[in-house]
Structure 1
Amino acid sequence: MANPDRQTATLALAHALSAAERGLPVIPLSPTKLPALRSPHHDDAPGTARCRGECGLPGHGVHDATTDPAAVRALFAAAPWATGYGIACGRPPHHLIGVDLDTKGDTDAVASLRELALRHLFTLPPTVTVLTPSGGRHLWLTGPPDVVVPNSASRLAPGIDIRGSGGYLVGPGSVTAHGAYRLAPGTADRDPAPCPRALLHLVAPPARTRTKPATTRAPHGEGLIAFVLAAHEGQRNTRLFWAACRAYENGLGNSFAERLVSAALHTGLTEEEARATLASAARLTTPPRTDR
């Protein structure tokens, strides 16, 4: 019988091959949840051009991710200490978006996500859900191929991290120093569900529009007003929420609120809707008090 470490490594490879068969690009992970293979450029001189796998050697983190069974086996053979695997997000064919919900301490990311869903009128579809050793969960969603979703930590709300292009999720069946990752009951046979459009607007940066160079610099915050005023029906509330979050994060929220409300009214929102959206943005961007 194989020793526990070897058995864990064998199971990690088996789970990784199963994920690769479903079109999910994978890499081996160490018990610390970091890529198991050290970069071949670790000792390169500072300032050397960054390689993302063009050299053909393994050890480039998520850039090594592959669905080819032979390549997966080769990666795990080079890292026999791997006890888990990572799934690259943002890659075809699924263009995976991971919603990482934390529940540590006073953080209740599940409740925060529910509040966002109510505020922005979207419903989370049944999808693949992975339970983490700390009691949190990862929701797997798919995005459109022409939208690049960046990685973020607690930007939407405390405890909600987004794994997008260049990021990875710890795959179910992985064993880490803190425990095992496993599929939530009833989700094993599901495919990742499409990300609701309203949630996609929140996690993806707004599309940049080309404008003529300004002869003078616009006053601080004018771009946020212009962003709200450019909203079409179906995106007015989302644009206002995004602009309000940026305003509060940059210390403009309180002094800028009336101008944002005025811009929202111009797009067709009611004053009640606009002020409720600003209140939600203020709640989600203001750190909780710790002097209790």
Structure 2
Amino acid sequence: MATTDRQATTLALAHALSAAERGLAVIPLSRTKLPALRSPHRDDLLSTTGEAGAVTSTGPRCHGECGRLGHGVYDASSDPTRIRELFAAAPWATGYGIACGLPPHHLIGIDLDTKSGTDSSSALRELALRHLFTIPETVVVLTPSGGRHLWLTGPPDVVVPNSAGRLAPGIDIRGAGGYLVGPGSRTDHGLYGAAPATAHLAPAPCPPSLLRLLLPPPRTNHPTPTSTGQHGQGLVQFVLAAHEGQRNTRLFWAACRAYENDIGPALVDPLVEAALGTGLSEREARATIASAARMTGRRP
């Protein structure tokens, strides 16, 4: 390993241990901002090809119960001994990630991106004016691309999901199961650093009005038409159980099965309602269902 890489790893570990002293759970990251340790289950995964050649991996959903390292954010710890063990297993790490949603802070990250060509800071200000909240003074991390990460804390009994662009274009949310690149991390694109005036601050509580915007809309239970029978109800439940990252794939699969069993037209609206409940927009849902209809040779 080059001397500069060793120095970057040493600095990343030091910053990670410092974050842990503040009660933040961390994991080592590679220069690509991804977890530095590969999954021990990668050879057990089965790949299935979905719409437009998209590959979805299915396999054991281990969150570290096996006792091995390499489970991403589920490896996160604030214990110094554990952190040193993680970095020792990933000597190529040049950064660290801070797990969101965990006690004691229940961290929520507001990622204001600049790469999409949108003014995410202005979009957040407009949301604040429209919904009557003010972003409090809090930790701000500056990204190499010119973006910003705002650190906020949430209530212990509220689970904030991850989302990308749902709040507004260019605004991503890091919640439970997600992580933020910690200040002091070095990546292929440069260095992450705390804004000087905020480095000493503790993460501030998320304003209630903003917190409500970060939560998914409540799911409504719409009865599945009886003409579709138990099979139709099962397909709707299959879509409702989707997590972020698999919503479109599950919807597409369910719609294909519906059209193959000649219940597609009757199941369109229930499937759309189910997709809305998982966070997809109506436009996305109907486009996915229409694509499934074409794929199976039916008319949407």
Q: TM-score, normalised by structure 2?
A: 0.70
For 2:110, the aligned partner's letter is V
Residue-by-residue CA offset, 1:14-35 (whole Å, 9 max, x unaligned): 0000001111000000000000
Q: How does 1:16-165 map to 2 (within 5 A)?
A: 16-44=16-44, 46=46, 48-104=59-115, 106-165=117-176
Residue of structure 1 equivalent to 2:6: 6
For 1:133, the aligned partner's letter is P
Is the 2:96–2:182 Cα contact (8 Å) retained in structure 1?
yes
Counterparts of 1:42 and 1:105, CA distance in 2:
31
Moved more, 103-112 or 41-50: 41-50
Residue of structure 1 equivalent to 2:211: 200
For 2:180, the aligned partner's letter is L
Q: How does 1:151-190 map to 2 (within 5 A)?
A: 151-190=162-201
Structure 1 residue 50: Cα displacement: 1.6
Residue-by-residue CA offset, 1:208-232 (whole Å, 9 max, x unaligned): 57x7968879x969x99xxxxxxxx
For 1:8, the aligned partner's letter is A
Gaps of 5+ in 2: 47-57, 227-265, 287-300
Structure 1 residue 42: Cα displacement: 1.3
Aligned length: 229
Residue-by-residue CA offset, 1:233-274 (whole Å, 9 max, x unaligned): xxxxxxxxx9xx9567778xxxxxxxxxxxxxxxxxxxxxxx
Task: Specify whether residues 44 and 192 from structure 1 end up closer, same or farther in structure 2 by C-alpha distance, changes over 3 A only.
Answer: same
Structure 1 residue 203: Cα displacement: 0.7
Task: Specify whether residues 45 and 172 from structure 1 end up closer, same or farther in structure 2 by C-alpha distance, changes over 3 A only.
Answer: closer
Task: Specify whether residues 214 and 6 from structure 1 end up closer, same or farther in structure 2 by C-alpha distance, changes over 3 A only.
Answer: closer
Counterparts of 2:123 and 2:45, CA distance in 1:
44
Structure 1 residue 39: Cα displacement: 0.8
Gaps of 5+ in 1: 225-241, 252-292
Counterparts of 1:32 and 1:104, CA distance in 2:
16
Counterparts of 2:39 and 2:224, CA distance in 1:
44
For 2:91, the aligned partner's letter is P
Structure 1 residue 62: Cα displacement: 0.4
Secondary structure (helix, strand or coil) at the match of 2:14 reads helix
Residue of structure 1 equivalent to 2:246: none
Percent identical pairs in the alignment equals 71
Q: State the 4+ residue runs in structure 1 displaced beyond 4 angstroms.
A: 211-217, 245-251
Counterparts of 2:131 and 2:283, CA distance in 1:
19
Counterparts of 1:79 and 1:42, CA distance in 2:
17
Counterparts of 1:248 and 1:37, CA distance in 2:
37
Residue of structure 2 equivalent to 1:228: none
Counterparts of 1:12 and 1:187, CA distance in 2:
20
Is the 2:29–2:94 Cα contact (8 Å) retained in structure 1?
yes
Secondary structure (helix, strand or coil) at the match of 2:160 reads coil
Counterparts of 2:35 and 2:133, CA distance in 1:
34
Structure 1 residue 7: Cα displacement: 0.8
CA-based RMSD of the aligned residues comes to 2.7
